[in-house]
Every structure is written in C-alpha cells, then in structure tokens.
Structure 1
Amino acid sequence: MKREQLLWLLTAAAGARPLLEYQQGTKFDYPGLRFDYDRKFHITMFNDLHLADGGVLPYRPDADDKTIGVMNAVLNSEPNTDLVILNGDLISCEWVAPEDANKHIDKIMQPLLDRQLPWGTTFGNHDYSKTCNVRLMSEHQWDVGNANGRQLTWTTSSVTGDYNQVGSSNYYIPIYDSAGGGNPNLKMIIWLFDSKGGRKYQPQGEDESIADWVDERVISWFRLTRDQLNQDHGKTIPSIAFVHIPPHVTEAFQRKGGRTSTQEPGLNEEVISHQGNVCDPSGHNCDYAGKDIPFMEALVETEGLMAVFSGHDHKVDWCMKWSATKPVPNNQPAKGNGMHFCFGRHTGYGGYSDYARGGRHIVIEEDKLGQSVLETWIRLEDGTISGKVTLNATFGYDQYPAVKKTKTTGSIGDISDSGVSVENKPDTTTTTDNQTKAEGQADAQA
C-alpha cells in the first residue's frame, strides 16, 4: 500500500513538523502534516508551469529553466513554506512524447526535493494529452518523493475508476495541531480535486477530448469522506481545497461586475474559462452546460470550507467571496456559504501571457481556524508581493491597494484557454451601493 500505516514523516527542517518519530509505536491510517511551532501553516501554490511548451520554446529556448527559476525565487522568498501545491498544467503535454513526460516532472520536483519540502499535485487540462499518462506521472511523483523511508508527496488517487473519467489527483491531506505527541488532533483538511479536461491518453489513437469538470463519483467520495471525518472527530473540520479549473461561479461573478480592483485586487485581464462545458469531439465549440453544478453544490454544503484555489486562467489572480446573502446571477446555486475562491499567478514561462510570474502564498493560523480567517498574497519572481488580502467575514467590503500590472519583456501567446484575449481590458472598477462591513458579518453568520 502506498500510504497506509506509515510510521513517520520526514519534512522540511524549517517547515511543518512530522507527526511521529520513528518507531514511536502509533500507527495512523492516513498520515499528514501539522501546524508549525508558531501555530501557523504556510502553503505556496504554483500553477500553470507549462514545461515543454512547443509553442514558446522556439522563441524562448530557456523557458523551462526560467520557470524552475521562478519556483526557486518564490520559495527563497517564502522560507516558512510548509507545503507546496502544484495546481495543474505542470507540462504542456500536447508537445511531449510519452517517454519524456517524467523527465519534465523531475525538473519540477527538484526545487522541492532540494529543500525536502512536502508537496501535493493536481493535474490540469494540459497535463492530459494523447501522449501523456497522468496516472503514470502521479505514480512517478510518489515513487521519487517517497523513496528512502520518507514521505514528501501526497500526490495520489483516492477514487478508483478510469482516470479519463474520475481523474488522477483526488485526495486529501490532514493537518494536525502543533502540540506534539503521538496522538495529535486533526485541525484542518486540504482537499485536492481533479478537474480533468484535455485529451485521452492514446498515443496511436484519435485525439479525443475529456470532460472538464470534477466527476460525480469524486463528489460522492468527497461527501462520504468529509462526513466520516467529521463524525469520527465529533466536530466540523475546517478545510481548504485546490482544483485546477475553477467552477462556473467565478466567471458569473466576474461577468456581473461584482469584482472591483480595490475590494478584490489582482489581475483581471481575461474572461474566466471554467468547468462544466460541453464541446464538440475535437474539444472546440464549447458551451456551458452546468456540468459542474454538483461540484458547486457539494462545496456550498461543506461547513468549514474556507477557500478554494485554482489556476488555469493565466491573466486572473484575484480572490472573491461567494456570499451567503448576495446571489451571483446566472449561476446555480446562486448563493454560496461565505467561502472564498482565489486564482494563482501564472508561474511558467510556457503558456500564454507575459505578466510577471509568481506563486500564491497562503497562511492559516491554528488559533483562527474557528473564525474562517486566512491570509494570502502573490509572491512575484522578483521577490515583491502583489494583492495581499485577508480572507475573512468582511472580505469583499474591505479596501486594498490596486495591483500593478507588471510584465516581462516580449509578449508571447496571448490567447487564453477560453479562446478570448482581453490583453488591454481595463481593470473593473464597479462598486455596489450600500456595501458595508455589517453585510460582511451577515455572510459569516449565514
């Protein structure tokens, strides 16, 4: 078995502490990490690395090296990182031969292995291709990251079935308290979901598209596992989640003009491409068909879910609140539960967009879990911070500085996964009348 009954975890010396010492004598069916000595847990998220992008490499042959440089620069600027999340589109696999995929995975893992940093992966639509087998890519991460009696990666698949249907990166990571000892208390769950998309793995076959939403069998697994964890521990376990392609509610919120440059600071330079579309057999001519509604319903019903983090849209990196009191038009369900959605910064020098690269950093304090509060920002390649916000009851009403839209030199590939380019789109400045912090508090109580 890959993970059951592991006796100990070796994690970064400066990061999250292991649950158990070797041969301490207590077995855990599902090992995890714990809050650090300062009672905080730090996560750095990278998304859309797009290694081996054949559309970019002829013009920027050092793109992959520069992408790994972004990872190193961000991690050097965030030395307290306890866990790294690779949130999809690790490789532009449509350009990669079957035998070469894991070579690129090795490049991505190296900054994490060098620092002995734990990590988890979700796969994105560009990881799924007719020449890349994401199940093998997942197993390779497990074999390398968990060699020599250590566990550094949780990347796995907890939902059985054809991975073209259920995906290959649906699992959770338990986070325990900072108190120490052999029987730590479960404090938080990190859920990871596979939104799929892309193409079926069949190197000698047709170029056949895959659905771009979280499968209903995964949703059933999520509900059963979530409810069992809460029952076993006699309480609601706070949680956060990661999925590469965002659900439709994010685009509905953007389209209605709900996002502003000072209440939800960040890049807003393209129309959001989301889950739940039905396309023709070639994967084109897509229309929204509501296929992600079951996933959104499962998120809304999950008590204690603080935030969901996505990538996919390279020119968007803001956060939003899915209000329990203010419906989002043209979305089902219209009302949320006060949870937040956040996009990451495009990490890779492959893929479209030439806004400054970076990663999203997330800080959760153990003592604030009951208040559903966390802090997050974009750490750019040059070490600066962009779009720092506190996700709490009044987020969406609080005011923050608008972000600078810094670019690297030489624009490459400005067409998004949605096929829409809005490179020169001005930042949204819509405001809503009578928005007060009291309304924000109502969200927290709803």
Structure 2
Amino acid sequence: MNTAKIKLRFSDKGNFRILMMSDIQESAAYDERSLRSVCAMLDEAKPDLVIWGGDNCYGPEIHSYDDLRAFLDVFTAPMIKRKIPWAHVFGNHDHDVELDIAVQQELYESYPFCVSAHTDASVHGKSNFVLPIYDQTGEEVLFHVWGMDTNNNCHDLNHLVPDGNLYKNIDLDNNPIHIGYWEGLYFDQLMWYWNTSCALENLYGRKVPGLLCMHIAPLEYEMAYANPEQCVLNGHYDENLSPSVFNSGLFSELLQRGDIQTICCGHTHYNDFEGMFCGIRLCWDACAGYRCYGADDRRGGRIFDISADDPWNLHTAMIRTLPLLDKAEI
C-alpha cells in the first residue's frame, strides 16, 4: 500500500522538506541552464525529498528507450550525487514520448534514490503513488505524499463520443473557464485514491495529512484564479491554467476524505501562485527548465516544509534559480 523503497522520515529536529519542480522539459540535447537550475535548487533548498511534477522530459525529442535513458542519466545525476530521494509524476509531454508509459515507469524506477513506485497496474496512468513520511523514530507515519498521473490530452478520449472527435465537441465558441484539452484523471484513479486513503485511515486509526502532486490542475483551480482576493492568491497568476477537459470529481473527493490539504501542479509555466479554496491550499510551481517557454525570473520550484509537531499546517514558498545559476555545482 505504501510504496516508498527508502524509508523517509523527519529529521531529528522534527522537520521534513519537499521540493517540487515541474516542466524541466529537456532531452539529451539540453540547455545547461536547465541542469544548473536543478542543481541550484537542490543546494539552496537542501530537500529531504524531490518530486518531479511532470513534463520531466520533452517528449517530442524522445524517440527511443536510449533517448529517455540519456535524459534521465543527466537529470537524475544531481539527486543521486547528493543522495536525495526523489519521485515523479508524468505530464502530457512525458506521454508524448515514443515509448510505452509502463516502460518509462520501469526505467525511472531503476535509478538510484528513486522512490517512485506505481501502486496499482489496474488503473489508468503509471505514476500514481503514496509515500509515507515517518516521525524521527521511524515508527509512526505523520504525513503522506501522493502522486497522480494526469495522462495526456483529449485525443485519448475520442472513443467516448459518437463522432470519434472529442476536441470538435469541446471546441465551443464560448469557453467561460478556459478549459484545456487535457485528459486529466480517470474514475479508476479516483477510486484508487479513495480506497487507499480509507485503508490507510483504518490501518493507522486516524487520517494522515497529505500533499498531492500532479501535473494538470483540477477544474476548481479556476475558482481561485478568478477570485484572487477571496481565495488569497499570492504570486503570479497571469497565464490561463489550461486544466483538464472534464471535471473529474477529484476536488470533491478530497474534501470528503479530508486528508489531503494541499495540491501542487505544474503545466503552465508563468504561474507560481498559492491560494485557498474551500480549505484546500492550491499551489503552482512555475517551471524548472530554461529551454521551454517561461519568465526567467520565475523559473524554479516550490518548497514545502512540514513540522512533526503540526503536520497538518505546512509552509510553502517558491525558490528562484536565476540568481543561483552561476554558483550551481553540477
């Protein structure tokens, strides 16, 4: 049920730091600034766990197993060198790779310090997981890090409509909430989360607070985006969010379960905000790579600090890499 291959635990001082970085979007033909960006964040933040938040590679340039391995050799090396555990979720560009997503997952998991482990092969996506974070003694689970695979784009859903062209059906003249054409979550993934969350509560006799990492945002992010004052948005929110094409029901599910209190997404590169909607913290983490589009002064990742004394109330902030590139140790 819990998938960590390395036992993750709070420090002796009762702290645990997560660094999420999305949209590295690189290949073996990488921009060195992207690699320096990853290294700079690791050295500045000194995280206990790194999460790659999707669009890890740039799929259109990855045509084979060897291409993907060449990318991973370069960009996992900073974590391996520093002996930092890391996990990943897939984004749409990872699904663009000319390689079955299950094969990709197996390759990712083969790297040292990777704690990713797809939990249930019967559900959609291949990067759905839950990682337990133990207390200082390694005996009690205080926090969970969840990952969910938001899959690719709406073309994978063409079989659901009579004319076999979903995009034609959703490309309407009036689109009040900037719906994207992204695939999002399937109901079996929601069932996996619900059943796993309930089983963990039964196992521990209590709910365990958690952070959910995913690439494409659920539709409810649009509510915070449209109401920045009421939802207390901090940071930049000047790019359309491009959420999944349909409301999967994830947000309602999270409210009803009550364990995941924070979500963090990537996907659009200018946004780096955090806000609150219905008591759930909604975060974005800009982009980590330098070859993809974005604003250089926003590139980086998002830090989450959790205290063993109060794991329900985490603290989060962005880390910017532009000022750190020159001193980054590759």
Q: Name the TM tier (shorter chain).
A: 0.7 to 0.9
Are 1:271 and 2:234 counterparts?
A: no
- Asked if 1:362 is matched to 2:329, the reply is no
Letter in 1 for 2:237: N
Q: Paired residue for 1:343?
A: 284
Query: Do the aligned partners of 1:105 and 1:137 also contact (CA within 8 Å) in 2?
Result: no
In 1, the alpha carbon distance for the partners of 2:316 and 2:218 equals 20
Report the CA distance between 1:223 and its aligned residue. Answer: 0.8
Number of residue pairs the alignment of both structures matches: 298
Secondary structure of residue in 2 paired with 1:196: coil
Could you tell me whether the CA contact under 8 Å between 2:63 and 2:97 is conserved in 1? no
Q: The residue matched to 1:68 in structure 2 has which SS? A: helix
Query: Hey, what's the Cα distance between the residues in 2 that align with 1:178 and 1:244?
Result: 30
| Secondary structure class of the residue paired with 2:94 | coil
Q: Deviations over 1:106-147 (max 9, x none)?
A: 2221110010100110000011126133322221121122xx
**Amino acid in structure 2 at the alignment position of 1:52:** S
- Structure-2 separation of matches of 1:33 and 1:225: 19
Relative to 1, partners in 2 of residues 1:355 and 1:268: Cα closer, same or farther, differing over 3 Å? Answer: farther
Distance 1:50 1:38 in 2: 35
- Contact kept, 8 Å, 1:77 with 1:383, in 2: the verdict is no
Task: For residue 383 of structure 1, report the CA deviation from its aligned partner.
Answer: 5.1
Quick one: distance in 2 between partners of 1:348 and 1:132?
22
> AA paired with 2:18?
I
User: Mapping of 1:168-317 within 5 angstroms?
Assistant: 168-180=126-138, 184-198=139-153, 212-255=183-226, 258-260=227-229, 263-275=232-244, 277=245, 289-290=246-247, 292=248, 294-317=249-272
1:115 to 77, 82, 97: 82
Q: Deviations over 1:25-58 (max 9, x none)?
A: xxxxxxx4111111011011110001039xxxxx
Secondary structure of the residue aligned to 1:309 is strand
Q: How much has 1:260 moved relative to structure 2?
A: 4.4
Alpha-carbon distance in 2 for matches of 1:261, 1:72 = 36
In structure 1, give the amino acid aligned to 2:106: E
SS at match of 2:111: helix
Instruction: Considering Cα pairs closer than 8 Å and 6+ residues apart, tell me whether 1 or 2 has the greater RCO.
Output: 2
Distance 1:98 1:261, change over 3 A: farther
| Long gaps (5+) in structure 1 | 10-31, 54-60, 146-151, 201-207, 278-288, 324-337, 385-446
Give unpaired runs (5+ residues) of structure 2: 157-165, 168-180, 325-330
**Residue 63 of structure 2 is aligned to residue 97 of structure 1:** yes
Give SS of 1:359's match.
strand
Question: Is the CA contact (8 Å cut-off) linking 1:317 and 1:343 kept in structure 2?
Answer: yes
Distance in 2, matches of 1:272 and 1:211, equals 11
Give the equivalent residue in structure 1 for 2:101.
Answer: 134
Cα offset, 1:245, TM superposition: 0.5
Alignment-derived partner of residue 378 in structure 1:
318
User: 2:23, 2:43 → 1: CA distance?
Assistant: 20
| SS of structure 2 residue aligned to 1:245 | coil
Instruction: Please point out which of 116, 120, 124 is paired with 1:166.
Output: 124
Please give the secondary structure, in 1, of the residue aligned with 2:306.
strand
SS at 1:166 equivalent: coil
Q: Which has the higher helix share?
A: 2
What's the CA shift string for 1:277-319, capped at 9, x where partnerless? 1xxxxxxxxxxx43x2x22221111223220111111111101
Normalized against structure 2, the TM-score is what? 0.83
Q: TM-score, normalised by structure 1?
A: 0.63
